[in-house]
Amino acid sequence: MQKLELIVIGNGMVGHHFLEQLAASPACERFAVTVLGEEQHLAYDRVHLSDYFSGQSAADLALGTAVQYQEWGFELRLGTRAAAIDRAQKTVSLDNGEVLNWDHLVLATGSYPFVPPIPGNDRAGCLVYRTLDDLDQIRAEAEQATTGVVVGGGLLGLEAANALKGLNLDTAVVEFAPRLMPMQVDAEGGALLQDKIESLGVQVLTGRATQRIEDGEASRHRMVFQDDKVLETDLIVFSAGIRPRDELAREAGLDMGERGGVVIDDQCRTSDPSILAIGEVALWNNSIFGLVGPGYQMAKAALDTLTEGERTFAGADMSTKLKLLGVDVGSIGDAHGDQSSGTKLYRYLDGVKQHYRKLVVSADGRRLLGAMLVGDNSYYDTLMQYYSNGLDLPADPESLILPVSEGGAPALGIDALPDTASICSCHNVTKGDITQCIHDGKASLGEVKEATRAATGCGGCAAQLKDVVDHEMAALGMEVSTDICEHFAYSRQELEHLIRVEEIRDFQTLRERYGQGLGCDICKPTVASILASVWNDYVLEDQHVGLQDTNDTFLANMQKDGTFSVVPRVAGGEITPERLIVLGEVARDFNLYTKITGGQRIDLFGAKLNQLPAIWQRLVDAGFETGHAYGKSVRTVKSCVGSTWCRYGVQDSVRLAIDLENRYKGVRAPHKLKFAVSGCTRECAEAQSKDVGVIATERGWNLYVAGNGGMRPRHADLFATDLDTETLIRTIDRFLMFYIRTADRLQRTARWLENLEGGLDYVKDVILHDSLGINADLDAQMARLIEHYQCEWKTTLESPERLKRFRQLINNDQDDPNVVFVEERGQIRPANDTERARLIPSVDI
């Protein structure tokens, strides 16, 4: 039987998915397939394109291999452009003059970035953000640049801004609309999103129309706006939307949309039944779908059209769950809502935590029509299930967006979801599909993903997929996976063991050996913490910096108004008058709020990002070190005055506190650690509420462990009594290292001990009696951490390259004018919303 000639033009994500589905179909034998890819690269993951700047290679991002195409029996031609389609002759002419015949043609040509028609948009150093080749150009230009501007504040624009930020450029975003991401968020959500992004050091200019680009004075380019205001920059990246790559179809005479796009029907057929179109080039019901999920659904429908199947494309939900520059944004259904049609709106705004949530509910209050989230996507999965499955809302719909502490409803349980509930919209996987997979013998999250492809598209459903898999496996009496996330089939404890035993020193090596995919916001910071706990490298090294959260990235705790706190180490609370004066002078000179903490340190609040290097230079010059208040690490060792001054003291608690703090400074752990030393049983240092507490006795020291004064206070347990100082320190060394090796991510010592099989007695056997024979190894690991200690701020100040990230605004080192304070009790505090409106003048832009 002679095979039908099938040509697929385009080898992007949607085109590759079509070919995957075809290769798995019994009907594949009927076709001789040729694939034309204009790029030199095999289809790659554009959703995670910015990871290319975080150490990922083209091979890492690739969705398949050339060998795979050979195994499928498909002819793959990369670096090949289709020049023309002749519908009458059923041929495709290539740019090299070759002519190919076809019986069926699939257009998967995707889209191209829209560049506004601005005079000067073609200047050298004006680029777009779409392909790996584009990113190579951006990287090359960034080597000679210090500043960069992204034109476009939508999804793609913020992705591009994240990339420029990752290249250590002072970054700005210019958006024509009055807010960022205008399609996804409303005015309130946009204002909060802008605040959060600006707090990360990215300047945001909304309501700006660029009139022309010309030579700059201090920088390569000058952007002139509609009001003649200007912005200078070295690099410009256009990411202002996309347009369908429809020129082949247009020249071939296929029906086109008024604003572009190849018109298709529900079977993805164009006006020529032998030509199908899928993905961003296709116009269905006057809509272009710019997300990968709808493209995948088109690919499946197109395959059924070719193979006499019944599946059709009936539109797609454009709900999205995103993390842009580390900021959560979620949009479900009709997220804006039109009250004129009788819909009801519910809004929740937490100005302190910077969370915004909005519900759009039907007039009768029974159905969720849309939702909007900024700052916290933890509500997304529950809201998405109410929306996509038409579930009846509770009597008080607002409970779905309130915190549980304020009467909010708990997350929708897996049992409450029908089997038809969509879990993965990209691959159209339902709860029932997952359940059936597990009943068919798939015994792990990885096997379910392989069988269903769930969570392999945009990845937004990964957490809920794991919940469904765990729930169904537990219901069948199967062992539930403790994998840290979908990228690593290991627990935190297992990853720590692999890193330590195999001497793995960076995330990429670990991922290549034991992981898959590109990583996520769970595994990246977890691995960063483990690497620091094992090797104690500088956290801002190139191979580590992309794993850190905001606080570790800027070596300071970010506060509610986007400023930072400065917390130098004051070991044991002991400080000389000279150093105390330095702290006062720094606080005075930089106008910082000053507070003495419960951990016997002096915290300085209100430092702007660009001020941090100058502040720390003064402090380092005076002999201070970083206090690691920003890290999951040993924070403070509190003490009383002990036997030196106190008439009740029986041991020198201050000396021990200073020795302990200096010994363990910089030691990273699954969570923060706090110590205290009391000089007698009167317990003035409150040692029994700390992770590690020491109380002096007449014969030595009593050691208490796993106390917690946080949200769930826990009294520490007595671990050992009457220890001499050397034995005490050795015991603490081993306890800390055992906790670091065995605790889960973000688990305090209190919860760790409560959940540890065998509890306190087991830990005593391990530490005091060496029941596992690991104490020598624990000692050696602690010695290595102590040996490799460094003050991270001192290291940073010695690197001009690292200091580039500490700028508030592009083009200069000035303060952010949107950060304002008021005076209260003789010190500054962040202005509230009313005060900000009065203090920040409105500017027409």
Residue 461 annotated as binding site: no
pLDDT tens digits for range 790-808: 999 999 999 988 888 787 6
Residue 666 and residue 708 in one domain: yes
Nearest to 392 by CA among 416, 372, 423, 357: 416
Residue 31 and residue 97 in one domain: yes
Residue 558 and residue 655 in one domain: yes
Residue 625 and residue 700 in one domain: yes
- For the record, the structure tokens of 365 come out as 């209050």
Q: In what order do the strands lie in the sheet with 692-697?
A: 634-639, 673-678, 692-697, 700-705, 717-723
* Last residue in a domain, options 278, 306, 334: 306
Residue 640 annotated as binding site: yes
Assign 752 to helix, strand or coil. Answer: helix
Q: What is the CATH number of the domain that holds 665?
A: 3.30.413.10
Residue 213 and residue 253 in one domain: no
Nearest to 249 by CA among 223, 220, 278: 278
C-beta of residue 249 within 8 angstroms of C-beta of residue 92 = no
Q: What is the CATH number of the domain that holds 257?
A: 3.50.50.60
Q: Torsion angle of alpha carbons 514, 520, 524, 526, nearest 10°?
A: -90
**Confidence at residue 404, expressed as pLDDT on a 0 to 100 scale:** 63
Other beta carbons within 10 angstroms of residue 353's beta carbon come to 11
Residue 664 and residue 776 in one domain: yes
Question: CA–CA separation, 716 vs 363, rounded Å?
Answer: 54
C-beta of residue 695 within 8 angstroms of C-beta of residue 683 = yes
Residue 94 and residue 140 in one domain: no
Residue 263 lies in a domain: yes
Residue 843 lies in a domain: no
**Confidence at residue 781, expressed as pLDDT on a 0 to 100 scale:** 93
Residue 226 and residue 277 in one domain: no
Range of the domain at 279: 4-112+244-306
C-beta of residue 778 within 8 angstroms of C-beta of residue 737 = yes
Residue 357 lies in a domain: no
Residue 804 lies in a domain: no
Residue 680 annotated as binding site: yes
Residue 519 and residue 581 in one domain: no
Which 8-state DSSP code applies to residue 373? Answer: E
The per-residue DSSP string of 506-560 comes to SHHHHHHHHB-SS--TTHHHHHHHHHHHHH---TTSHHHHTT--HHHHHTSEE-T
Nearest to 105 by CA among 387, 302, 383, 354: 302
* Last residue in a domain, options 225, 240, 255: 240
Sort residue 640 into left (φ over 0), alpha (ψ -120 to 50) or beta. beta
Residue 16 lies in a domain: yes
Query: What is the CA angle 318-457-453, rounded to 5?
Result: 120
**Confidence at residue 845, expressed as pLDDT on a 0 to 100 scale:** 38
Determine the residue type at 321.
K
**Confidence at residue 548, expressed as pLDDT on a 0 to 100 scale:** 83
Question: CA–CA separation, 262 vs 87, rounded Å?
Answer: 15
**Confidence at residue 481, expressed as pLDDT on a 0 to 100 scale:** 66
Residue 298 and residue 272 in one domain: yes
- For the record, the structure tokens of 457 come out as 């598209």
Which residue, chain included where needed, has tokens 């949530």? Answer: 357
**Confidence at residue 844, expressed as pLDDT on a 0 to 100 scale:** 44
Question: CA–CA separation, 528 vs 131, rounded Å?
Answer: 29
Residue 627 and residue 677 in one domain: yes
Assign 376 to helix, strand or coil. Answer: coil
The per-residue DSSP string of 397-408 comes to GGGGTS-GGGTP
**Residue ranges of the chain with per-residue pLDDT less than 70:** 1, 338-341, 404-412, 457-460, 478-481, 709-712, 808-817, 840-845
Domain count, the chain: 4
* Last residue in a domain, options 260, 291, 306: 306
Residue 662 and residue 544 in one domain: no
- For the record, the structure tokens of 519 come out as 């990583």
Residue 838 lies in a domain: no
Give the CB-side neighbour count of residue 124, counting CA atoms within 13 A: 5
Question: CA–CA separation, 685 vs 675, rounded Å?
Answer: 9
Residue 98 lies in a domain: yes
Residue 601 lies in a domain: yes
Which 8-state DSSP code applies to residue 216? Answer: -
Assign 187 to helix, strand or coil. Answer: helix
C-beta of residue 731 within 8 angstroms of C-beta of residue 719 = yes
Question: CA–CA separation, 705 vs 724, rounded Å?
Answer: 17
